[in-house]
Structure 1
């Protein structure tokens, strides 16, 4: 696999760049946000890459930092996410914002990405939540047990107003199972 390229930036286009390394020109696809972070044409560049093999071809995706490449690979592991959608997500959300949106079950933050609707956002949250670790999680607003219950209720199709009403007054530090049971009982009475 090609994990990193170090060479000269030969071309910077709308969808990617061309890096000359060792006498070979590598075409690398990248998001517009990532392209803006690379140096000017003619300068030395390091591109962290992911080689994606498909039946119809091979594509090389590039990122200015290894962390973004690793997040790209994590996104590819989610159900229904291909390289184009994963690149779009990283093109619109910085790594910290993506992690925060997943951990706090903030589907609205994910829907700013073209091609990500409410259902896709919820699927991303369900598929990826366990893979993201945030040591500062308790300081994040809404990142406790109630956020997990909120995410579960959204996944079941409840509307935000219904969820707010069901969670109102429940202890933020309770066990997820007990909170979910209590919220479902409240929703069942309506």
Structure 2
């Protein structure tokens, strides 16, 4: 399994990129949101990946954070969800938003993803609820998350770094606790990308 790629970004397309690692170019499918957050061509990039192996092909799917990749894998475990639909869902909502939608039975949020109608959204919520649990209790409000985002950006972190860190941390503490958790995640991610 290829779980992470670090290398030079050599090409960008509508739905994917090519990352050169050790002289080998890996084609990686990414969401439009991740595509816009990637650095320019010729720069180093780190993506958390999932290798989907089927009878007729193999494909790599890449994500800017481990939380997004983990959510992709959870989505693949749901009935009737393949890689294309999982990517479409993650293109329209972040992992925390998806957890929130499942916990609150927000069918409308899921219907916003291409390829999902009302029935499919209801079935998806039923399939995902046991896997995601009820995450709504104790979850930080959007204003608290905004304060965490502002604090981290005022420390000089890029919005893309802040977003990736917020996807990985638990959003159930105080603003100060969430800032500390995010700083730990960003420090760990910097260490990984600098290794």
Normalising by structure 1, we get a TM-score of: 0.71
CA distance in 2: counterparts of 1:101 and 1:135, whole angstroms: 10
Shift of 1:133: 3.8
Structure 1 stretches of 4+ with a deviation exceeding 6 A read: none
CA distance in 2: counterparts of 1:75 and 1:107, whole angstroms: 16
What is the match of residue 87 of structure 1?
87
What are the Cα deviations for residues 43-98 of structure 1, in whole angstroms up to 9, with x where unaligned?
Answer: 10001000000111100000010110000000000000000000000000011111
Rate the CA distance shift 1:136–1:111 in 2: closer, same or farther, 3 A. closer
Rate the CA distance shift 1:17–1:43 in 2: closer, same or farther, 3 A. same
* Larger RCO: 1 or 2 (CA < 8 Å, sep 6+): 2
1:100 counterpart = 2:106: no
Rate the CA distance shift 1:116–1:135 in 2: closer, same or farther, 3 A. closer
Q: Report how many aligned residue pairs link the two structures.
A: 141
What are the Cα deviations for residues 140-177 of structure 1, in whole angstroms up to 9, with x where unaligned?
Answer: 89xxxxxxxxxxxxxxxxxxxxxxxxxxxxxxxxxxxx
Within 5 Å, which residues of 2 pair with 1:170-181? none
What is the match of residue 128 of structure 1?
128
1:61 counterpart = 2:61: yes
CA distance in 1: counterparts of 2:95 and 2:138, whole angstroms: 19
Shift of 1:132: 1.2
CA distance in 2: counterparts of 1:81 and 1:110, whole angstroms: 13
What is the match of residue 72 of structure 1?
72
Shift of 1:135: 5.3
Shift of 1:138: 5.4
CA RMSD of aligned residues (A): 1.6
